[in-house]
Amino acid sequence: MDPFQSTNEVPTTVSPELTADVPTTPAVPVEEKTNWKQLLFDLVETLALAVLLYFGINAVSARVRVDGYSMVPTLQDGEYVLVSKLSYTIGEPQHGDIIVFKYPGEPPQDLIKRIVGLPGDSVQVRNMTVFVNGQVLSEPYIAASPAYQGEWQVPEGFLFVLGDNRNDSSDSHSWGLLPMENVIGKAVLIYWPPPDWKAISHYEIVVAEPQ
- pLDDT band with cut points at 50, 70 and 90 for residue 131: very high
Whether 113 sits among the annotated catalytic residues: the reply is yes
Checking if the pLDDT of 162 tops 90, the result is yes
Q: What is the pLDDT of residue 54?
A: 55
pTM reported for the whole predicted model: 0.74
Task: Give the whole-angstrom CA distance, residue 69 versus residue 62.
Answer: 20
* pLDDT tens profile 72-130: 999 999 999 999 999 898 889 999 999 999 999 988 999 999 999 999 999 999 999 99
Whether 61 sits among the annotated catalytic residues: the reply is no
- pLDDT band with cut points at 50, 70 and 90 for residue 63: confident
Neighbours of 128 (CB within 10 A): 13
Catalytic residue among 70, 87, 169, 172: 70
- Planar angle of CA 172, 77, 75, nearest 5 degrees: 65
**Please, what is the average pLDDT of the chain?**
82
Neighbours of 173 (CB within 10 A): 21
How deeply is 42 buried, as exposed, middle or buried, from its count of CB atoms within 10 A (0-12, 13-18, 19+)? exposed
Q: What is the pLDDT of residue 23?
A: 54
Checking if the pLDDT of 61 tops 80, the result is no
Catalytic residue among 84, 87, 113, 122: 113
Fold of domain 62-199? Umud Fragment, subunit A (2.10.109)
User: Nearest-CA neighbor of 120 among 93, 145, 146?
Assistant: 93
Q: What is the pLDDT of residue 55?
A: 56
Selected residue with higher pLDDT from 155 and 200: 155
- pLDDT band with cut points at 50, 70 and 90 for residue 7: very low
